[in-house]
Structure formats: structure tokens, C-alpha cells
Amino acid sequence: MDQRTACDLGRAIGAGQVNAVELVEDFLDRIDRHPLAARIYARITPGRARAEALNAAARAKDGRRRGLLDGVPLSWKDLFDSAGVATEAGSALLQGRTPVRDARVLREATLQGSVCLGKTHMSELAFSGLGLNPVTATPPCVNDSGAVPGGSSSGAAASVAFGLAPAAIGSDTGGSVRIPAAWNDLVGLKTTHGLLSVEGVVPLADSFDTVGPLARSVEDCAALLGLLAGRPAPDLTGASLTGARFLVLTTVAQDDLRPAPAAGFDRAVARLSAAGAHVTEAAVPAVAEAMGLAAVLFTAEAYGLWRDTIEAAPKKMFPRILDRFRSGAGFTAPDFVAAWRRLARLRADWAAATAGFDAVLVPTSPILPPQADRLLTDDAYYVTENLLALRNTRIGNLMGGCAITLPTGEPSCGISLIAPPLAEARLLRLAAAAETALR
């Protein structure tokens, strides 16, 4: 299987070593032949892909390439609107929903020359970190054929991990880029809320929804950030950990760690320290209180957005996802407003406590990917694993920052770096240096 990164492929196109048309045909052929492709891709867009690749090849021949990723194929999570192609967000509630125009980030990526391979399966309406979806499809996990892949950008991660796309675009509301990236040994970037447009993106909770890439390298994530934003990618040249200051968060993030994630995290932290970083452990009490607000903040908004659609046909939903949405009905408008006001103060406390550090380190997930069959039959197991899956990633969303997960070398175990809002360029430079140390 070709393991070249998206940037490697882009450089090969620029050097005349790879033809964009031949490249997209190779990926379409891989998808057509792969036995698990139907669990990864909800829909393929071969006509669009071929047309975009043909244009990219012509630009390359004439010396008119629009950027490093011009001609590179990407997969898109099935909540990004795509003109004339169904966008159903993993839910029977939206079956047949076909937008007339692309989501803004897809339009921007297309203008920059990327090639759309198709739309990937996802957790139903993006409301689960597990990636289990008996309504449409549950994508595979690259490290365990019986396990879920993480969600909600589950097919996005699987498309890259199984070699059916060089990179993927997903979304992250509480960890939906970082969990599937970690469980499939990829790099996943959660961007600052509002940095990238969510116009034309099926929402879950508008106050937290973000767009982000999943890829094989930090360089890819930086290039994809530039592609989606329509501006130059952050410069990673000369990235170093010498003198970097990291805070290992002990509040909440270290609780109930399973052995493999704990071992992977500890080894990763040791390698960062050996590469020149200064590492300090500390508690940040604001995190524990913020976690207590998560239920009202996420579920109330999600149910408010989806209540009418859900209650018109609730039997179309996976019951456990339906129950999660409906839990938002138990909160009042004053509860929601008070929670947001309190979170604003807690974010200020977090910013003050972490101001002296370049990034905060946490295990991306405290657990390994759970077993799919058991999740369907064991209610207690489902509840426990679902709550733990997104616990650590949710810290970054609640605190309003940007974050990135990197593979630790332990299968399905990631380490996350959390940085302040709009600090993506600095975070990516740190992550590039950390990636080198971890490899």
C-alpha cells in the first residue's frame, strides 16, 4: 500500500513524477477493489474527481499549479455539502438530502486544486465519539477488525488509514477529528472555533463545531489548514522542541487511564523531554468544573438544533444516539445561559493557569477502541466507553483552544497538544518537532 503523505504526492505532481489523472484513477481503483470500502465511503464522486484531476494535470503541465496540494485527492466527511451529491450526515433522517452547492471549505479547497474522491461514513449526526453507526455503516479500525474506529469522523480516518485517500477532512465538536485520528494512528487537527467556515456543514452544536484535517503527518495538516482557509500554510521550517514548555495536565485527563494509553503517553512525554522540552505536571481546577457543564452545553444546543427533525421520525435513529439528543430536553434556557457565562470565566482561569506554557499535554483518549459487537449488546459498556472516549478531547473544545493529536507509537494511542485560541501556526510548529521526536 502506498503510504506517501498528501504533501509527498503534491511534490511528486509538481516534479512531474506523478500525473494527477493517473493518481486519482489509482485511488478510485483502490476504493473499487477494497473489501471494506463500502463501510468507509458513503458515496464516491468519480465524475467530479476525474474532471478535477484532469484540470490539475493540465495546470501542472503548463506550470500553473495553484499550490502544493493541487491535484491531490481528498475524502470528505458526509456532513460537508457537495453540489448534486447526497449529504446525509450518517442519518436516515436526512436520507436523500442533496444540496445545490458545496460547503464553503469544499469550494475553497476545490479552488486551490484539490480533488474530491467522495464522502465518508460518520457517526449519526456527528453525536458520538465511538464511530458506531448501525443505521448506515460502522467503518473499520485499522488496528482491530472487531473494534470501532472512533468518531464522529470515522470514515474519514479509515479512508486514510486503509490507504483509500491521502488525507481527509472531518469536523470536531468534542473530539470528532482527534479520536478517530488517534485510534487509527493518524495526525488530527482541531482548529479554533470560527477559524474555518462551517457554512454548508451539517451542524451538531454551532457553538463548538469546527472543521479539521486527518492525515499521515503534521506537514499534511498544516498544508490542509492553508488549503481550507485559502491562505498560505504555516511555515514548519526549523521547528524545534529546544526550550519548549509543556504542561502535563493532571486534572481529569489522567483519571481511569487504561494501561496501553497510559504507557504510550508516558513514553511520548519522555521522548519530548529528551528532545529538549521542559515538562511540568500540574492541576488546573477549572477543567473539572468545566467538564461538569458539558452536558448542558453540548446536549441542549444539539437537541435545540435537531428537535423538530428528530421528533418527526424518532424511530429512524439508533436508540442510543436518540437518547443522547433527547437528554438535552432536560435543561432550561436559564441553565444554558448560566452555563455559558460560567464557562467564559473558567476559560479565563484556564488561560491564566496555562499562560506560561507553549502547550498542554494530555492522552488523546484514556481508552482503546471498544469492541463494536459488545457496544450493541451491553448497555453499561456502551455508556462507560462512550463517556470516556471523548472525555480528554472535550477539554480542548470547552477551553476554546486548538489541539492536535499525534501517534505515540503504541497502536491506537495518541498524545494531544492543546494550545490557546488562534495559535494554530505555533501549535503546528511544536507538533512538527514533536512528531520527529516521537518517530
| Residue 1 pLDDT > 60 | no
Tell me the three state secondary structure of residue 25: helix
Q: How far apart are CA 402 and CA 422, in angstroms?
A: 7
**pLDDT at residue 155, as a whole number:** 98
Which residue type is seen at 181? A
Burial classification of residue 30, based on how many CB atoms lie within 10 Å of its CB (0-12 exposed, 13-18 middle, 19 or more buried): middle
Give me 165's grid cell: 485517500
The alpha carbon torsion through 164, 168, 171, 175 (nearest 10 deg) reads: 70
Residue-wise pLDDT for 71-88, tens only, equals: 999 999 999 999 999 999
**Chain segment 308-343, per-residue pLDDT in tens:** 999 999 999 999 999 999 999 999 999 999 999 999
pLDDT tens across 145-164, in order? 999 999 999 999 999 999 99
Q: Are strands 245-249 and 359-363 parallel, antiparallel or unpaired?
A: parallel
Percent of the chain whose pLDDT exceeds 90: 99
| 240 in active site | no
Catalytic position from the list 75, 152, 153, 154: 152
Could you tell me where the beta strands, DSSP code E, fall in 29-69?
41-44
- The per-residue pLDDT for 285 is 98
DSSP 146-177: TB---SSSHHHHHHHHTTS-S-EEEEESSSTT
Let me know: does 393 contact 188? Beta carbons within 8 Å.
no
Compute the mean pLDDT over every residue in the chain, rounded to the nearest whole number.
98
Q: Please, which residues have CB within 8 angstroms of residue 292's CB and are 6 or more apart in sequence?
A: none
Residue 201 pLDDT exceeds 90: yes
Quote the CA–CA distance of 186 and 156 in Å, as a whole number. Answer: 11
> Does residue 113 register a pLDDT over 60?
yes
Task: Using the predicted structure, report yes or no on whether residue 198 has a pLDDT greater than 70.
Answer: yes
Phi, psi of 391 (to 5 degrees): -60, -50
Is residue 364 pLDDT above 70, yes or no? yes
Domains and CATH numbers, the chain: 6-229 (3.90.1300.10), 245-293+318-438 (3.90.1300.10)
- Distances, alpha carbon 46 to alpha carbons 50, 112, 121, 155, 392, in Å: 6, 19, 17, 18, 38
Catalytic residue among 123, 159, 176, 217: 176
C-alpha cell at 4: 506517501
Q: Which residue has cell 476559560?
A: 347
Active-site residue flag, 273: no
Q: Which of 75, 77, 190, 365 is catalytic?
A: 77
Q: At 49, is the secondary structure helix, strand, or coil?
A: helix
Confidence band of 3 (pLDDT split at 50, 70, 90) = confident
Residue 234: which region, alpha, beta or left (left: phi > 0; alpha: psi -120 to 50)? beta
Question: What is the pTM (predicted TM-score) of this model?
Answer: 0.98
Confirm whether 61 is a catalytic residue.
no
